[in-house]
Amino acid sequence: MTIENLSSNKSFDGWHKQYSHHSDTLGCAMRFAIYLPPQASASQRVPVLYWLSGLTCTDENFMQKAGAQRVAAQLGMAIVAPDTSPRGDAVADDDGYDLGQGAGFYVNATREPWKRHYRMYDYVLDELPTLVESNFPVSDRRAIAGHSMGGHGSLVLALRNPDRYTSVSAFSPIANPSNCPWGRKALTAYLGGDAARWADYDASLLMCRAQDGVPALVDQGDADEFVAEQLKPETLEAAAAASGYPLQLHRRDGYDHSYFFVASFIEQHLRFHARHLGL
């Protein structure tokens, strides 16, 4: 698979690089960013944390605002951040910020006009890691994390594929999309109105029935304007209690939904993943 380098910036003796490529899974050009720590070389392949961003975001939000590179460089951990959806003139879109381009919800759409391009679940699970592991000095040891819509995506991917990830974490995830306005709108559009089909993309429902799973860390700010109506962290807590899932969920006093919150606790998340990645 051919990739095109769009930018390169040295950071903490490693490199932040942005690439574009044609995605067969999504049927369009896609962009992703990768941070390669100084330990990454032809003789040393490093593990990868995949970061999934939230509504309206691209690969740039996390890489430019979270301040993760310093600790990733210390730990010897690569970070890969894809875009949040397919994009382009031929890709279906919606006037709302919470559906269509910038709002892929990390699902495989089954309904028109979305199903041709909106297959972010498969893209993150299979195509992107294959591309990254084929082109960069990284290993197949993977962890996954995300924020808001990306927190939903990271939890769903890890819960459904515990053999693919060593650990999962999330900031302010949409924990129960079947039961919140953002989730119901997106899941109805992408999957149809039968709510039974939504269960495979609902972290709380998946966690409630999980038989085993990778360790999970979630941070939620109690000053988050979306916490009660959209995020519903209590549903994750109830699910973990019901199934005995290895979940740590921290409620952070005074923190909101912004990247100020993510930047405040990203070091703890990276070190959490480093332990499970064997670093």
pLDDT score of 211: 86
DSSP code at position 103: B
Catalytic residue among 16, 147, 152, 257: 257
Indicate which residue of 59, 98, 219, 224 is catalytic.
224
Q: Are 2 and 22 in contact (CB under 8 A)?
A: yes
Extract the tokens encoding 38: 């100084």
Question: Looking at residues 262-278, what average pLDDT do you find?
Answer: 98
**How many other CB atoms sit within 10 Å of the CB of residue 168?**
31
What pLDDT, in 10s, does the model give residues 183-218?
A: 999 999 999 999 999 999 999 999 999 988 999 999
Parent domain of 99? 3-277
Indicate if the pLDDT at residue 1 is higher than 80.
Answer: no
Query: How far apart are the C-alpha atoms of 17 and 11, rounded to whole Å?
Result: 10
What pLDDT is attached to residue 239? 97
Q: Which of 23, 85, 148, 154 is catalytic?
A: 148
**pLDDT tens digit string along 34-43?**
999 999 999 9
148 is catalytic: yes
220 has which bridge partners? 251
For the chain, what is the domain count? 1
E strands in 37-113: 46-52, 78-82
Distance CA 249, CA 117 (A): 34
Q: Are 150 and 53 in contact (CB under 8 A)?
A: yes
53 catalytic residue (yes or no)? no
Give Dmax over CA atoms of the chain in angstroms.
51
Question: Catalytic annotation on 224?
Answer: yes
Give the whole-angstrom CA distance, residue 229 versus residue 119: 26
- Convert the pLDDT of each residue in 210-248 to its tens digit: 988 999 999 999 999 999 999 999 999 999 999 999 999
**Coil/strand/helix, residue 189:** helix
Average pLDDT for 138-142: 98
Q: What is the CATH number of the domain that holds 258?
A: 3.40.50.1820
